[in-house]
């Protein structure tokens, strides 16, 4: 397996885990049960699950974690950092 294939498999797996975890947290919140810690939700986004976290937060109904500004600042900071890292990678390691 190439490194590109491994990265794709990792991203698919972590995004599935992320969306399931965000939905689990929303269900638990509605039932008054113990919640998934915010740091765990943010960690999933940090390690590659930010696309699924975005979907779970904004596109699935009901929306989740879209009103808590402290969470949103951290989430969008993670996304910005990931975009910056991708940009750096393409600028310095993918040049012909």
Tally of structural domains, the chain: 1
Q: Are 65 and 71 in contact (CB under 8 A)?
A: yes
The pLDDT tens digits for 21-44 are: 999 998 998 888 999 999 999 999
Cβ neighbour number for residue 47 with a 10 Å cutoff: 14
Range of the structural domain that residue 67 is part of: 3-92
Q: Are 46 and 10 in contact (CB under 8 A)?
A: no
How many angstroms separate the CA atoms of 26 and 62, rounded? 8
Q: Are 9 and 46 in contact (CB under 8 A)?
A: no
Task: Please tell me the pTM assigned to this model.
Answer: 0.86
Residue 95 has phi, psi (to 5 degrees) of -75, 145
- How sure is the predictor about 67, in pLDDT bands with cuts at 50, 70 and 90? confident
């Amino acid at each position: 397996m190439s490194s590109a294939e491994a990265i794709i498999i990792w991203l698919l797996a972590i995004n599935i885990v992320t969306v399931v975890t965000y939905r689990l947290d929303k269900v638990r919140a509605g039932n008054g049960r113990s919640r998934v810690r915010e740091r765990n939700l943010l960690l999933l986004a940090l390690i590659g699950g930010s696309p699924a976290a975005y979907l779970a937060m904004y596109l699935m109904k009901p929306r989740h974690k879209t009103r808590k500004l402290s969470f949103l600042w951290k989430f969008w900071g993670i996304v910005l950092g990931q975009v910056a890292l991708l940009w750096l990678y393409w600028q310095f390691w993918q040049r012909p």
